[in-house]
Amino acid sequence: MKIFPAIDIKDKKCVRLVKGDFDKITDYEISPVEQAKRYTDYGFKNLHIVDLDGALTGETINLDIIQKIVHKFDIKIEVGGGVRSIDSIKKYTDVGVEKVILGSAAIKNKNFLKEACEKFPNKIAVGLDAKNGYLSVSGWKENSNQLTLDYLREINDYGASRLIYTDINRDGMKQSPNFKETSKVADISNCPVIISGGVSSIEDVQKAKSLNKNIEGIIVGKAIYDGDIKLEELAREIDA
């Protein structure tokens, strides 16, 4: 199983939100590049980055930081946050990002997702952010009135190479991920699924390993920053 430590970037700093709420933000004293170095020093091979400035503006605001991380360290990076155009995807892939995550733009416009998958084969991940079974968009402020599983069935053959399933009610809350719903998504998905939102302990990571074989990995964020999960114990869960 792939373990994705998370870096959320805002104003050039590492931050964490609770349920995606910009009014509930915690700043950390470490820079994104320094944090990426910590992860690579412990042997992590994958990294999940969200450009929160990008999520707010629709621009690749922190492209320079992400490029620096890609070039400095031997780590595969997936990046999301306000990616709304083919041009933005190209900017990320040109600097060496492994996967570009499409969220609201892909849910609001399936044709955009289809075009992106065709133009960037094996580079597109889809972020499914759900609340009570329904997809949310626009930084989780807006309910799409679309059932997660119905949407997935519609786009299942478009050619996305990864799904990232987040239960918004769990995100930043450290109450364990929604394993049950993630397993339902993995059961019908044509591509591998990443668990996101609510990881609170090393037991959550170990449980994820025992689930559906189509679950590729797990994202760990706030629990690392707050010290609930030590990097040395998390590193022991990395698959050889």
Q: Which residues are tagged catalytic?
A: 8, 129
Residue labelled with tokens 């892909």: 106
Contact 62, 51 (CB under 8 A): yes
In total, the chain counts a number of residues equal to: 240
> Cα 122 to chain center, whole Å?
16
175: DSSP letter: S
The first and second tokens of residue 5, run together, are 């430590």
Report the distance separating Cα 125 and Cα 67, nearest Å: 19
Q: Are 46 and 199 in contact (CB under 8 A)?
A: no
Terminal-residue alpha carbon distance, the chain: 9
Number of C-beta neighbours around residue 27 at 10 A: 11
How far apart CA 38 and CA 24 sit, in angstroms, is: 25
Nearest to 25 by CA among 33, 13, 14, 17: 17
